[in-house]
Structure 1
Amino acid sequence: MIKAITVDDEPLALELIEAFCKNFDFLQFEKGFTNTDTAFKYIEKNPVDLLFLDINMPAESGVSFYKSLPHKPMLIFTTSYSEYALESYELNAVDYLLKPFTLSRFEKAVTKACELYNLVHNATASERSKCIMLKVEHGTVKVILDNILFIEGLDNYIKIHVHNQSPVVVRLTMKALLEKLNEKEFIRVHRSYIVPVNRIESFKQKIITIAGEEIPVGKNYEDQLKTLFNPNI
């Protein structure tokens, strides 16, 4: 059962989401909040699995509130403004519901959340530490960390190059992805590239080689790499 709460400054929006949740056996609607302070205190004492969150609220933005949470539940944004879609991708939100939304559209969003929940909870603790779950266009994909060759940034998208399979393309920023990775295992070498340390085959003349691919090293990242590979470099 997925425990869910909603935070929205519009009482009618809270009532609608609560009513919609009752249509799905896998959802347990816990509570609705009209301000972030009260919601934060509740989450501290009562961990939840899914958060329906408005973005544009008077006291604090939904984005700021979500970033402040020490333990982040799955996130579905609910908002009247389409211009915030990029921020939802940066936080790897499960979905982005544009008000007013129908029960059918709501079902699509919570089904994605259920799929992600099952993927994570059906994995062992060991498996969870060796993979990351990322939202793609039509659902969620599990990426095995040991299989990553390198990560390439393309505007608001990233392309994860994986050993023996097609690249995984995700709408996410490099910064947001770095926060999901172990800093001892992955290193940023360029504004457009992140690489796994153990995949680096060579580093010379500002070029890293991984699986036959040449990856440029940015000026701001050279010293970090030299320190990492000292005294061989």
Structure 2
Amino acid sequence: MKLTSVVIDDEPHAAEELELLIGRTPGIENKRTFNDVASAIEYLDDFGKVDIIFCDISMPEINGLDAGEILNRQCKFLIYVTAYREYALEAFGVNAAGYLLKPLSQSTFIKKIEGIRERVTLKDRAEIQDGYILAKGSNKNSFTKIQTIEIVYIEALLNYVKIHTTKDFFITYVSLKDVEEMLGTKKGFVRISRSVIISMRYLEKVEGNVLKLHSAPDFTVGETFRSDFYALLKRHSINRD
């Protein structure tokens, strides 16, 4: 299966360079190239989600970082391609899957794509079945079966996640965004911040922006996630005034 991508860069020569690298790399196909974020989003709204968005950071109107949250909804992996090192921390702050510095080398690019393909494979192996997930262990062909009904919350740990259940916890190599997508078919799991997903089954109390879960530390709902979270609470409230 080929990975799909789009490129967003307002510098024509930089966009062409990236297109050439993609064309020379096995296992990936670039669908379209855009010189601004708005055009790319309009296209993806019609085309649907792609595997990877390669996006420049310094662009007119909407820069890549400001558009990070929107772009993340349109792809599985957001990779920034820029000539500036100083944006790295901000890039990972918007859940970017990678940060490549211009000028790009073929070897660096191929290594990044191979890493993405490995993450896709791990995600597929941890695919949610009816009522449970399979979390890959540290050894080859090692998996732990986790009943979704027992998951209390999940927290991000750099390139890993820690899955806390009513009985134990498990650490597996996958991103929180991947887990969120996998849990998308299961009701009752809600992302409340950049680093935490909770199970509403174990939510006991909400006090302002602080959530109290059974047998778990208190969590604060992140500002970006508050409107969706409180809309969910309202839908389940017996008093909606």
TM-score range relative to shorter protein:
0.5 to 0.7
1:151–1:158 Cα contact (<8 Å) kept = no
2:190–2:197 Cα contact (<8 Å) kept = yes
Deviations 1:108-131 (CA, angstroms, capped at 9, x unpaired): 22112222334556776x649976
**Quick one: structure 1 residues 169 and 150, their matched pair in 2 at CA, closer, same or farther if it must change by over 3 Å?**
farther
Equivalent in the alignment of 2:118? 115
Give the C-alpha shift of residue 186 in structure 1.
4.7
1:186–1:196 Cα contact (<8 Å) kept = yes
Equivalent in the alignment of 2:208? none
Deviations 1:164-217 (CA, angstroms, capped at 9, x unpaired): 454469898xxx899867797357999x976433346x88xx97542xxx6347
Give the C-alpha shift of residue 94 in structure 1.
2.1
Q: How many residues align?
A: 206
Matched, 1:40 2:41: yes
Equivalent in the alignment of 1:60? 62
1:120–1:128 Cα contact (<8 Å) kept = no
**Quick one: structure 1 residues 89 and 199, their matched pair in 2 at CA, closer, same or farther if it must change by over 3 Å?**
same
**Quick one: structure 1 residues 101 and 215, their matched pair in 2 at CA, closer, same or farther if it must change by over 3 Å?**
same
Give the C-alpha shift of residue 55 in structure 1.
1.4
**Quick one: structure 1 residues 60 and 207, their matched pair in 2 at CA, closer, same or farther if it must change by over 3 Å?**
closer
TM-score (norm 2): 0.60
1:162–1:168 Cα contact (<8 Å) kept = no
Equivalent in the alignment of 2:24? 23
Give the C-alpha shift of residue 53 in structure 1.
0.6
Equivalent in the alignment of 1:162? 164
1:189–1:216 Cα contact (<8 Å) kept = no
Q: Residue 58 of structure 2 aligns to a residue in which SS?
A: coil
**Quick one: structure 1 residues 188 and 117, their matched pair in 2 at CA, closer, same or farther if it must change by over 3 Å?**
closer
**Quick one: structure 1 residues 61 and 166, their matched pair in 2 at CA, closer, same or farther if it must change by over 3 Å?**
same
Q: Which runs of 5+ in 1 are unaligned?
A: 134-141, 219-223
**AA partner of residue 68 (structure 1):** I
Matched, 1:82 2:85: yes
In the TM superposition, what are the counterparts of 1:1-233 in structure 2 within 5 Å?
Answer: 1-47=2-48, 48-69=50-71, 71-73=73-75, 74-120=77-123, 127=129, 146=148, 148-151=151-154, 160-163=162-165, 164-167=168-171, 185-186=188-189, 195-199=198-202, 209-210=214-215, 215-216=217-218
**AA partner of residue 105 (structure 2):** T
1:76–1:109 Cα contact (<8 Å) kept = no
Q: Which runs of 5+ in 2 are unaligned?
A: 136-143, 206-210, 221-229
Which stretch shifts more, 111-120 or 73-82? 111-120
In 1, Cα distance between the equivalents of 2:6 and 2:108?
A: 18
Q: Residue 74 of structure 2 aligns to a residue in which SS?
A: coil
In 2, Cα distance between the equivalents of 1:97 and 1:57?
A: 16
TM-score (norm 1): 0.61
